[in-house]
């Protein structure tokens, strides 16, 4: 099974990346390491027979979509009531504006302005509360980026028609073409479309990890022994010992409506 870079280190050009483990619920950080919200989902698109990750989503709308039952419905209802827009939608940030993915997701200057301007409550808190805390501003962005951003006039940063979500792929049923069951998706791995040192950019899905158990599957314990206390890590790795990683080339079909993947034998 392929391995991610060490936790806390930035993604290196061409390296494999576990989308669930390294993106979902991770903090978005600006040039001075200011907090700009969390990654609440990842946008996926089918292009030329490939499945690619193109953007990260932020906001209660994306977060509530991932929550089960009443919690998800309650989250969506509260979000729609508090949002100013008549038809509110999650914020979409293209991966071309992500500089590095490590223990957090570092974005460039344009993305910082875009994220801050789109969240009035968070912007107010940053200016009037967080910004007044000594040491709250972390200094120069260690991954570079445009230090004098000029936000582009782009109001079309929304999910394109036909786009899918990582949260809908995680947990999908996996079957072989002979009809035998092969568990459910616990992780999705991807790599850069073309290796770039300065930015992450589009990520092409290379494989899915699937198995009979989902509990703890997205926590990274099975991939890195430093991710948990020894006994807990060993217990979770044993719990997931039957997980299998299948290359994306083995996927014969993917039914998004029923959340079902069919693999070649």
What tens digit of pLDDT does each residue of 48-90 get? 889 999 999 988 777 777 776 666 566 555 555 655 555 556 7
Let me know whether 28 and 118 are in one domain: yes
Instruction: Please report, for the domain that includes residue 216, its CATH number.
Output: 2.30.30.240
- Give dist(CA 87, CA 262) in Å, integer: 35
Q: Among residues 113, 132, 151, which one ends one of the domains? A: 132
3-state SS class at 226: helix
In a domain, 147, yes or no: no
Rounded mean pLDDT of the chain? 75
- Give strand ranges (E) for 124-243: 164-165, 173-176, 181-192, 203-211
In a domain, 155, yes or no: no
Alpha helix positions (H), the chain: 19-22, 60-66, 69-82, 109-117, 120-128, 166-169, 230-239
In a domain, 8, yes or no: no
Q: How far apart are the first and last CA of the chain?
A: 18
- Give dist(CA 17, CA 21) in Å, integer: 8
Let me know whether 84 and 36 are in one domain: yes
Backbone dihedral angles phi then psi of residue 38, each to the nearest 5 degrees: -115, 160
- Give dist(CA 102, CA 106) in Å, integer: 8
Q: Among residues 86, 111, 132, which one ends one of the domains? A: 132
Q: Among residues 132, 154, 174, which one ends one of the domains? A: 132
Closest CA to 7 of 226, 255, 166: 226
Let me know whether 187 and 95 are in one domain: no
Q: Is 215 a residue whose pLDDT tops 80?
A: no
Instruction: Label the pairing between strands 181-192 and 173-176.
Output: antiparallel
Lowest mean pLDDT among 71-80, 119-128, 166-175, 196-205: 119-128
3-state SS class at 251: strand
Let me know whether 113 and 191 are in one domain: no
pLDDT on residue 114 = 85
Let me know whether 94 and 173 are in one domain: no
Let me know whether 118 and 59 are in one domain: yes
Q: Is 27 a residue whose pLDDT tops 60?
A: yes
Instruction: Label the pairing between strands 173-176 and 260-263.
Output: parallel
In a domain, 220, yes or no: yes
* Residue-range definition of the domain harbouring residue 216: 166-263
Let me know whether 86 and 23 are in one domain: yes
Q: Is 225 a residue whose pLDDT tops 60?
A: no
Let me know whether 204 and 102 are in one domain: no
In a domain, 5, yes or no: no
Six-digit token string for 59: 């906001």
In a domain, 171, yes or no: yes
Let me know whether 109 and 177 are in one domain: no
Write down the pTM of the prediction: 0.75
In a domain, 154, yes or no: no
pLDDT on residue 123 = 47
pLDDT on residue 1 = 57
Number of domains comprising the chain: 2
């Amino acid at each position: 099974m392929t391995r991610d870079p060490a936790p806390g280190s930035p993604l290196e050009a061409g390296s494999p990346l576990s989308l669930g483990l390294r993106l979902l619920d991770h903090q978005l950080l600006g040039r001075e390491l200011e907090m700009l919200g969390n990654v609440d989902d990842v946008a996926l698109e089918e292009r030329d027979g490939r499945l690619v990750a193109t953007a990260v989503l932020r906001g209660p709308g994306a977060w509530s979509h991932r929550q089960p039952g009443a919690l998800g419905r309650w989250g969506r209802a509260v979000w729609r009531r508090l949002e100013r827009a008549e038809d509110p939608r999650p914020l979409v940030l293209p991966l071309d504006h992500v500089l590095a993915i490590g223990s957090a997701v570092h974005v460039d200057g344009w993305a910082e302005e875009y994220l801050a301007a789109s969240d009035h409550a968070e912007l107010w808190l940053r200016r009037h509360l967080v910004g007044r805390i000594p040491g709250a501003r972390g200094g120069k962005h260690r991954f570079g980026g445009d230090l004098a951003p000029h936000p582009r006039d782009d109001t079309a940063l929304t999910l394109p028609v036909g786009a899918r979500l990582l949260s809908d792929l995680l947990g999908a049923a996996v079957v072989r073409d002979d009809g035998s069951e092969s568990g459910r998706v616990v992780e999705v791995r991807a790599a850069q479309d073309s290796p770039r040192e300065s930015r992450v950019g589009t990520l092409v899905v290379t494989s899915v990890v699937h198995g009979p158990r989902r509990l703890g599957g997205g926590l990274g314990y099975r991939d890195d022994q430093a991710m948990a206390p020894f006994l807990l890590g060993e217990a979770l790795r044993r719990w997931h010992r039957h997980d299998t990683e299948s290359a994306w080339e083995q996927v014969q079909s993917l039914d998004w409506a029923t959340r079902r993947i069919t693999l070649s034998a």
